[in-house]
Amino acid sequence: MTPREAPTRSAEPPQQNRSTRPRGVELPTTTWQDWSCTVRLVVTDPDALLPAATDLRAMMRRVDVASSRFRPDSELSRANAHAGRPVVVSRTLVDLVATALGEAAWSGGAVDPTLGHDLVHLGYDRDIFLVRDDPGDVGPRSAHRPRWEDVRLDGATGLLTVPAGCALDLGASAKAQTADRAAAELHGRYGCDVLVELGGDLAIGGSKDDWQILVAERAGDPGQQVTLGAGGLATSTTTIRRWQRGGREISHILDPATGSPVSGPWRTVTVAAPSATRANTCSTGAIVHGVDAIDWLEDAHVAARLVDREGRVVTTGGWPS
């Protein structure tokens, strides 16, 4: 998959953005494991915690059934299996695909949802915890392949046409989009401030302006605590979700231009943006852009923290020092 794998269920990998108790205040919090990551829900009303968690689990189940690349019974798997032919899909998948295509267009193709076959080609054809090193050579990538512009989606009729020779993978946006939607819906439904964190993607709903977030490359690593008052935060990294193929170290973040793992100077990028979805696009796109990442992020007017392959940190766009 591209930077973030499609929703599935498994154990917990290292995480990057960890919410903390703001300024010593104990806030109602619950966490659990799903989609190969830690799910964290924080609310400001204790009475809302249990029903909000139930709603979040239900929302995640709907997204999983619609968009998981690792479920043979998902709508996305069905659309990929019928590539070249229109398939009727649910409103959930229509919204997820529409967002993925919109973020691909906004990023100029730096984040492309049509990399499913490339990930399978590299060995990422199952949940990341089941991927095994393989001594075999990956072989050459197909020189001609469709891209995001070739996907056809009719929102009115719910018809999705995956281009022939292509497979969609929504991991770069679906998880972040779910965090955004959950934070907004739970805030509206229960009338309290809400923080939803799905792995490296974090979204806020409500007016609370002093959420304290610890940003680190891995759980337990030293990091930087920042204050977040709106929007979302996302981290993309090449330091986790790695495996070997033909003696070569493989990262799950691919360059859409080559279909190969990125090889630029940045190993981890964290971005604060108006939404978790846009933050995810920016953090992934920055790793893909490599040496041009800082200029690209500044043009996007987002705050970012970049860590290079030697561990040096560079910040841009007003990121707190």
| Predicted TM-score (pTM) of this structure | 0.87
Average pLDDT of 58-76?
A: 96
Residue at 6 is within a domain: no
Residue 41 is part of a domain; what is its CATH number?
3.10.520.10
Residue-number span of the structural domain to which 64 is assigned: 17-316
pLDDT band at 16 (very low <50, low <70, confident <90, very high): low
The count of domains in the chain is 1
Across residues 245-251, what is the average pLDDT?
Answer: 62
Higher pLDDT, 73 or 245: 73
What pLDDT does 130 receive? Answer: 53
Whether 248 is in a domain gets the answer yes
Q: How far apart are CA 114 and CA 93, in angstroms?
A: 15
pLDDT at 21: 42
> Cα–Cα distance between 200 and 276 in angstroms, integer?
9
Unique residue bearing structure tokens 């917990």: 12
- 5 is a domain residue: no
Residue 218 lies in a domain: yes
8 A C-beta contact, residue 269 and residue 240: no
Higher-confidence residue of 70 and 82: namely 82
CA atoms in the 13 A half-sphere facing the CB of 174? 30
Q: Is 140 helix (H, G, I), strand (E, B) or coil?
A: coil
Please count the other Cβ atoms lying within 10 Å of the Cβ belonging to residue 85. Answer: 11
Residue 248's pLDDT is what?
66
Would residue 9 count as lying in a domain?
A: no
Q: Answer yes or no: is pLDDT of 15 > 60.
A: no
2 belongs to a structural domain? no
Cα–Cα distance, 34 to 37 (Å, whole number) = 6
Average pLDDT score, the chain: 86
- Per-residue pLDDT tens over the stretch 152-209: 999 999 999 999 999 999 988 999 999 999 999 999 999 999 999 998 899 999 999 9
10, part of any domain:
no
